[in-house]
């Protein structure tokens, strides 16, 4: 379908809305770790606790994320801009030099992330040139870290009063 909008201009205008920055991670059936930078993360429902994110249909990781049992959404902290860039750039091992721990099903959780959501894959829906992936939160951890933000093509830390570190679930 042809759009009446100039794609570059529309992308620029949409970029005026500040978003958090996440790295979504999973494991392939062969054990290989996968991760992609995404700023399309949002909450969907509190009962049940659902979140979503979007992945391009052209992504080489589409099948893994679409059919995995579990995935994690790592909300990056303000000092993790390099990790954001690393997972947004094609490379043989995006996890090179990134400290992780294993979550549910061995899904990698990025150490130092502001928040980590471990999710069971609930459903997915095609939408234009992306797939909407919905997960039910099984467990989450949050720590004293200001999140990384993306707005108008720039990454920056969000200055805020830091609360308590907590793990739930």
- Per CATH, the homologous superfamily of domain 7-152 is Electron Transport, Fmn-binding Protein; Chain A (2.30.110.10)
Query: Residue ranges of the domains in the chain?
Result: 7-152
In order along its 169 residues, the chain shows pLDDT tens digits of 556 888 888 888 888 888 999 999 999 999 999 999 999 999 999 999 999 999 999 999 999 999 999 999 999 999 999 999 999 998 879 999 999 999 999 999 999 999 999 999 999 999 999 999 999 999 999 998 889 999 888 898 876 654 444 445 5
Q: Give pLDDT tens digits for 17-63.
A: 889 999 999 999 999 999 999 999 999 999 999 999 999 999 999 99
User: What whole-number distance in Å separates Cα of residue 10 and Cα of residue 139?
Assistant: 36
Predicted local confidence at residue 161, as pLDDT: 52
Predicted local confidence at residue 60, as pLDDT: 94
Predicted local confidence at residue 164, as pLDDT: 47
Question: What is the full DSSP assignment across the chain?
Answer: ---SS-HHHHHHHHTTS-EE-EEEEEE-TTS-EEEEEES--EEEEETTEEEEEEEETT-TTHHHHHH-SEEEEEE-BTT-HHHHHHHHS--S-TTTT--EEE-GGG-EEETT-SEEEEEEEEEEEEETTEEEEEEEEEEEEE-S-PBEEEETTEEEEPP------EEE-
């Amino acid at each position: 379908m042809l759009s009446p909008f100039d794609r570059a201009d529309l992308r620029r205008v949409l970029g005026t809305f500040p978003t958090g920055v996440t790295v979504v991670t999973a494991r392939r059936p062969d054990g290989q770790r996968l991760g992609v930078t995404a700023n399309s993360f949002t909450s969907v429902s509190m009962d049940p606790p659902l979140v979503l994110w979007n992945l391009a249909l052209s992504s080489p990781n589409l099948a893994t994320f679409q059919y995995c049992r579990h995935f994690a959404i790592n909300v990056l902290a303000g000092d993790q801009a390099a990790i954001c860039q690393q997972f947004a750039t094609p490379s043989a091992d995006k996890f090179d030099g990134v400290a992780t721990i294993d979550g549910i099903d061995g899904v990698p959780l990025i150490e130092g992330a502001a928040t980590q959501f471990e999710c069971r894959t609930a459903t997915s829906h095609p939408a234009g040139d992306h797939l909407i992936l919905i997960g039910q939160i099984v467990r989450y951890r949050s720590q004293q870290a200001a999140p990384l933000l993306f707005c108008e093509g720039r990454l920056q830390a969000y200055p805020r009063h830091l609360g308590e570190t907590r793990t739930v679930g």
